[in-house]
Structure 1
Amino acid sequence: MSQLPLNLTLLLVAATLVFADPQALTLPTFVAGQVAALIILLLCAAVPWGRLPDWWVLVIPLLDFVAVGLVRSGAAGVLSGLGLLAVFPVMWLAGAGRRPRLIVAVCAFASLLMVWTPLLIIGDHAPHTFVAELVVPLMLVSVAVAMSVLTLSGIAQQERVEELLARSETRQRLLDTVLDTVDVGVLVIDDSGTDVFMNSRQRQLYLTALPPGADRATEPELLIYRDGSDALVPAAERPLGRAIAGEELNHEVFRLGRGPQARTVSISAREFRDAAGTRAGAVLACTDVTEVVAAVRARDSFLAAMSHEFRTPLTSLLGYAELLQEDESLSAAARSDLVVMSRNARHLRKMVDDILAASIEGSSPDVQRTKLDLARLVRQAAASAAPDAESRGIALRIEGDGELPVNGDKTGVVRVLDNLVSNALKYSESGSSVTLITERDGEWAVCRVQDEGIGIAPEDLKRIFTRFQRGSSALRSGIPGMGLGLALAHEVAALHGGRLECTSEIGVGSVFTLRLPLAGTGHDGPLPAASAHVDAVERSHASERADDGAS
């Protein structure tokens, strides 16, 4: 293929001479040049070059200088510029990329021999004749230099590309190994929803979701359920369809398959974009949380059962303690002991209530919101806490008047207020004050509980609403508690469309601010099922009181 262009060009030269000077076709040198080129072409086809060292092929372009020189010498009087046919072997040699300086020198020497040899044969030794023939060699040397530079540049670029490809392949293999090693299912889809990549863990989860007896299934046929439901998830609500539509998923829980082999998974999805910033598809990550969910449910069942069993004897203790306090024959010391007993029993019952509320969250039906007056509930909470405040020597004040209508679950809101007031009293010292402030703030009904207690450290503020977390100052004070009350209060506020906030300073005090939407601001409606935990606790308490009364 490298030799054929020269032979075709020589054939065109012969065809041109048929019209220009047919007698030139019979000149011995011209015929010899054509025959030499034909023999070289036959050598290119016949010699097994693959068995020889690769540099042997460079002999062919060197022989081409002989064929071009003979043709040029034979037809020089008829056609001019035939010496430029040597550009074919020059490009072949320079394009080989081997020892460019030597190749350029060889091309220069071969070109000079091609144009000066005929002069030496005919005996023309005039200096000006030799100089006149230098134009063609100079042009061929320039071509050789340019071709060598381009070839070396191309080789360098090819080596760089091969290096980058090798690095890319190594990284791809590393990524594939990592994705197959991690215990997270990873699925990559393009913009049309076609699978691009699926690791081994994702394939296992896919097999779990297949209908019984099926080897393959389309997305609508897969057995995908919401956790806790036996109804198949509609196609539009399935993770893959939502990811294709561009929606982001954050740890949404689904169940794949049914029966003992079913797996509970947490699915997240994010879209990804190409180098131009155009959406190219999405990545879904599926984490198997079957064992975690089972452990959480077992823990909640245990806590619910334990709390239920604790409440019955505690209710009896409190009831009999109150009856004993009515006995006028008791001494002052005995009555004081009964007060301590009742106070600690009530504290223990509150802790049990918080554990029970946390354990059965989300297990009850929806609770309908009712019209409430937050200001009135605050006054009732203050009245309930007044005896405790008086016994501690703490001034309990209320600021604000007027109604604050909200829609919500009364049991839940009352528990939040009771918790905030009891916490303020618990962490305040005798002689200080606790102030309850109610006001309107735009579309919000606001209640602030302000104390002059020990305060909360800045590093503890971000985790005070986390379950079973207590501030360092509270731990150092030795005041008992489990770190559940504020977490449950924060959850109830969120479920009502509001929020619970806190600002505090060590040694100065804390301010807890409860914000709930005022009635008629667009947040009216049934509470989510998860908000029913407080109502479930209250029903559990009522049941226990009935059981205790019957006994």
Structure 2
Amino acid sequence: MSAANRFPAATPLDTSEIDGDGSSPNSRTRSVWLTQLVLAASVVITVLVVQALQPSLFAVWTFSAGVAVIIVLTAVSLIVPWPRVPRSAVILLPFGDLLGIALLAYGSELRFGFFWVFPVIWIATYFSLPSLIVALGLIGVSILVDAALNGPTSSTALRLITVMLSLTFIGMTTHLTARQNNAFKQLLRRQASRLQGTLQRVTGQERRVSQMLNGLDTGIARLSSDGEVLALNDHYVALYAIDREDPKRPGGSVEYATLRGDPLLDGERPFQRAARGEQFEDERVWLYDTSGQWHALSVSTRFLSANTDEGASTLLIVHDVTALIEAERAREQIAAVVSHELRNPLTAVIGHADLLLDDESLSPKAREQIEVIDNAGQRMQTLISEILGSSRAHFREENSTRPADVRRVLEASLESFRPAALGRRVSVRLDAPEVLPIVGDAFRLRQAFDNILSNAIKYTPGGGTVVITATQADGELRVAFADSGIGIPQADIPRIFDAYFRTQAARESSTPGTGLGMGIVRDIITQHGGSLDIESEQGTGTTVTVHLPADTGA
């Protein structure tokens, strides 16, 4: 296949052809200037040589006219504002040069005909094939006219053929080369346009992906296999208070292994582990941010395989699960509090039911009904124990303060547990002033006293005693629950308030328990501005002392 078939034909005076690279209108001006000035410079040099070697040529009017035509056309090329001139006007310059060179070569046996190469190359490069053919035809006509007017010789035909073949070869070669270059240029422009479109689409997709990632409430960091930061979304940057200029440096937030525990070492931080290529799933980390808030984080990594553009990388995903943990704690608090606090009044119900069943004067119908109550109470106790066993939270609730009488609260608690005490043959005695004023939540204080009294009765063997002593002095109200029960080992006393903790003696006994009661008691007493003391000796008994601020009436 020929070159002409492989590449599209050039169009006359195409902007990209006239303008060179077609980048701006000034390109046309530069192209015209460059081509015309090269010819003018060659003619000027020739004139200087002629002046030195053969000045008689200036007497020949055609030579002088030819030089004048070239000089005038060069001046015109420098003066004319080519960006404002129609594109078709540019071709007048090389055709004018053909005429000027024809005058130079007239009667000189074509010694100056070599200058025809300049306009021929110009036309072949920037104009269409018909324009080149016309130019070659004008050159041939000029040679024939010269031969006819100056008399043909034996070498005239040879010069005509040699010049025409040379110029035709140069013109066609230049024209085909220019067409190839133009075709390549158009191809490159199309490819560049496609690449630009692809780049814009990819950029748009990256922008949309980035907007999506930044809109998530999940922190995301992408790290290369070398530990370099490839991308961070806004939530990650805000959560860790990271400086985007130096993302590898730890941010303002501090990571902890546990809530209020010890800070993680630099090498143990999830970011550093992910940078080393470690893979982990749903690991819990506590973060203390710059505003003084704690965040529970679930941290995981995902391995991203390599592709043609990038190597393998690791995705670090950080979920803030603080709200979930708080919701779970709230649910467990409700389960623990409701279940534990239902147990004490239920004990009173069952205890009184047992006392009624011991009455031999009951009618069969009444006995049957009381047995139903007792059985239902026993079933409810079993359900409560199961709920308490699945609860893992401490009780923390704001108290409602108002004037109250601790004596009345103690009497109510004692009355509710008296049947249970009688059932276990435990003697319970209250020694307190007639009035013990306090500002607090009587309902919550009743819960605390019920828990203490319940433990005292449960862990006191039959025939034992529980003495409740209340005093008021120096603005403090002191309530002591002293029992003669199994006692607590000294090593276990600091752990009494831990959730689910029960001493070995309590676990080995047949008395049921969950280990939540004393933790609830401490929280309630602390919320009232008080404190709790425990003194115990294994096998002798335990004294739980509650210190509360008294109502002085001030």
TM-score (norm: length of structure 2) = 0.48
Between 1 and 2, higher relative CO (CA 8 Å, sep ≥ 6) is seen in: 1
* Structure number with bigger Rg: 2
